[in-house]
């Protein structure tokens, strides 16, 4: 890790009526500018075969403000509008690099409402934040202090579907430094019965946050279905459903943050399996449970925290038969149904299915890291192949889903 880490600190705040109106107007203008610029870029390519970038869309934004139809764009700060054009440029860069899909138009109902302010569009003095076009500072609830002696370089204001307002302050955090090296290594097998099973034999239970609040979610959704479309009561019921979902997501995120922080602090090398979560949630029998477990979020948190604190995350190929292989002698059983949680190998060793899988993942990850094979996530290195690649040639989608389901710890 070179230099200081830039870290976003997110806080909740409560705007006044004037501030809320100004921010909602800004969100709408940001969305409008993004959609107009996206349409211009699409038309330029489809009609003239021409690629236009940020500079061209920025000039178009100035021209739009001078028209009677789009004169309302001048009523809000110009910085969030310029920032959304930069975000569009980054989206196209990711698309051309085959890291993401083609940018899509933003909807008033389905997109995240937010605006980004740079240093020229806000004032930060003694812990008081005031945005452009506002006379009063934001009423922020400081749930944790900012690093001492730092000032935010970027401020992002957002409003979620539950009606909660958040401000995110991007700062350099001098407190994030590599931890002292340790000798501990661990293999991690994710599952549903137990969220994590470690190669040390420890099992971390699955809190199942979605199941805990399922009754409340059902009541809120039934109330929403009874309301007339377009009415104020339906909008209130929609917010009620969103609040239940937000509570579930917050609890899940808090739990995963605590678990990943502990694992990163205690271990130097962490070995995980490259599970295709986006494919696995297509299984209607497991989609809800997998989504509630938060496997993708767990991996994302583990990877960036390992980068912060000087740890290493090794990703083992998804086709490695971690459950079917004996961690003692290396023998591979022909079949291992999901209901079999313990099994005995021909060598006489009795295995717990999940602990055995975690130990095999650890051994495979250490072997691959020693031989120098490329085991980084496939989304980052699409051409890289793992040394443990065992994908059968010509495998059908049904076969792939069956294999993925078989490897899941139920």
Q: pLDDT tens, 340-365?
A: 778 778 787 777 888 888 888 888 88
Q: Assess whether pLDDT exceeds 60 at residue 398.
A: no
Q: Assess whether pLDDT exceeds 80 at residue 369.
A: no
* 213 is an active site residue: no
Helices (H), 97-229: 209-212, 214-226
**Which SS3 state, helix, strand or coil, does residue 141 take?**
strand
Q: Which residue has the higher pLDDT, 403 or 10?
A: 10
Q: Assess whether pLDDT exceeds 90 at residue 1.
A: no
> In the predicted model, what is the mean pLDDT of residues 9-31?
96
Average pLDDT, the chain: 86
Q: Which of 292, 317, 354, 407 is labelled catalytic?
A: 354
pLDDT score at 355: 86
Predicted confidence band of residue 296 (pLDDT cuts 50, 70, 90): very high
Tokens of 106: 């933003």
Q: Which of 116, 273, 303, 407 is labelled catalytic?
A: 273
Q: What is the DSSP letter of 223?
A: H
Q: Which of 22, 116, 189, 274 is labelled catalytic?
A: 189
> In the predicted model, what is the mean pLDDT of residues 88-115?
91
Express each pLDDT in 256-286 by its tens digit: 999 999 999 999 999 998 888 888 888 888 8
CA 67 to chain centre: 39
**Which SS3 state, helix, strand or coil, does residue 189 take?**
strand
pTM recorded for the entire structure: 0.82
* 189 is an active site residue: yes
pLDDT score at 270: 93
Q: Give the list of residues 6+ apart from residue 71 with CB closer than 8 angstroms, or none.
A: 65
């Amino acid at each position: 890790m070179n230099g200081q880490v830039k870290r976003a600190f997110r806080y909740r705040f409560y705007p006044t009526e004037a501030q809320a109106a100004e921010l909602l107007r800004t969100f709408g203008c940001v969305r409008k500018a993004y959609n107009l610029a996206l349409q211009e870029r699409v038309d330029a390519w489809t009609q003239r075969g021409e690629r236009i970038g940020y500079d061209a869309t920025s000039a178009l934004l100035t021209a739009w403000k001078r028209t009677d139809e789009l004169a309302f764009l001048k009523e809000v700060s110009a910085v969030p509008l310029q920032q959304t054009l930069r975000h569009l440029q980054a989206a196209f860069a990711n698309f051309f690099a085959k890291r993401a899909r083609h940018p899509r138009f933003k909807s008033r109902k389905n997109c995240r409402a937010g605006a980004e302010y740079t240093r020229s569009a806000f004032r930060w003095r003694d812990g008081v934040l005031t945005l452009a076009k506002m006379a009063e500072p934001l009423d922020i609830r400081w749930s944790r202090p900012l690093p001492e002696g730092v000032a935010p370089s970027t401020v992002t204001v957002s409003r979620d579907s539950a009606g909660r307002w958040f401000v995110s302050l991007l700062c350099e955090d001098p407190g994030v430094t590599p931890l002292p090296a340790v000798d501990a290594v661990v293999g991690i097998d994710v599952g549903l019965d137990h969220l994590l099973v470690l190669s040390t034999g420890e099992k971390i239970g699955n809190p199942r946050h979605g199941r805990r609040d399922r009754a409340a979610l059902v009541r809120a959704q039934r109330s929403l279905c009874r309301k007339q479309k377009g009415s104020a009561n339906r909008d209130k019921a929609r917010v009620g459903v969103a609040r239940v979902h937000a509570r579930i997501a917050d609890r899940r995120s808090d739990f995963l943050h605590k678990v990943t922080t502990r694992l990163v602090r205690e271990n130097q090398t962490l070995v995980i399996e490259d599970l295709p979560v986006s494919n696995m949630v297509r299984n209607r029998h497991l989609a809800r449970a997998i989504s509630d477990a938060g496997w993708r979020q767990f991996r994302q948190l583990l990877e960036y925290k390992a980068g912060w604190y000087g740890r290493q995350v090794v990703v083992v190929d998804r086709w490695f038969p971690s459950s079917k292989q004996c961690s003692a002698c290396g023998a591979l059983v022909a079949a291992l149904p999901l209901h079999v949680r313990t099994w005995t190998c021909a060598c006489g060793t009795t295995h717990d299915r999940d602990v055995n899988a975690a130990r095999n993942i650890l051994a495979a990850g250490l072997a691959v890291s020693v031989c120098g094979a490329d085991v980084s996530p496939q989304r980052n290195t699409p051409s890289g192949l793992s040394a443990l690649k065992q994908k059968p040639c010509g495998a059908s989608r049904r076969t792939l889903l069956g294999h993925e389901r078989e490897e899941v710890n139920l």
